[in-house]
Structure 1
């Protein structure tokens, strides 16, 4: 379920990445644009009843980006307050496998960006800290 007994909203997501096809290699990170909030962030969403955080993270990545992924290391949880309620988001670093984005009600655009470009585009500072943690888990360029 999306709420805990203490009232905390539980959510999960991934810092989704893929190996770059650019001549210099490296990785690209997937950011999603949510028109409702006009923000750029990593794919995430609330847990459904009976769903584990990992199951929710994989479902949300697929729903928001159209990509399947292989979850890797668990990243630090992100905590903040939304509409007066605490929210905790559990994240994984996850490599994209197959898929293609189709705009939907929640996400109207995705961008695959280099780490510096992703850092510049992210709306929230807390997501920049998450980006740093994810970069520590990714393969060397």
Structure 2
């Protein structure tokens, strides 16, 4: 009998203003386990609010602190035979330094069009399309 309990996760579309040009850049993470490029995200711990999980995952995966902004669409899909629901926020990166590890070995800061082209999953590209920055 398979477990059909929904896996709950949260993450952010992490962005910043480029240091020299001031243009918006999007942070993507590379996960060697899946050899994919995605937005930082991860599973909620028991009793953890989704926004807290999203901010924790950004820090764990990118080394950056961030300020959460607008709530973005929730993405639903099946992963490893189980339904998965990922709640997202736009978040502006503040300070931090990336340190590679086994979970995330690289990050890239890319202009939105380049980030969209680099993302592995169409659902992540669709999510990026919902990002509105002032």
State TM-score, norm by structure 1.
0.90
Alignment of 1:43-82 (within 5 A): 43-82=40-79
Name stretches of at least 5 consecutive residues in structure 1 with no aligned partner: 1-5
Alignment of 1:13-32 (within 5 A): 13-23=11-21, 25-32=22-29
Aligned to 1:36: 33
Give the aligned CA root-mean-square deviation in angstroms.
1.0
Structure that is richer in strand per residue: 2
Distance in 2 (CA, whole Å) between partners of 1:68 and 1:104 is: 17
State TM-score, norm by structure 2.
0.95
Number of residue pairs aligned between Structure 1 and Structure 2: 131
Aligned to 1:8: 6
Name stretches of at least 5 consecutive residues in structure 2 with no aligned partner: none
Aligned to 1:3: none
SS of the aligned residue for 2:73 comes to coil
Deviant stretches of 4+, over 2 Å = none
SS of the aligned residue for 1:30 comes to strand
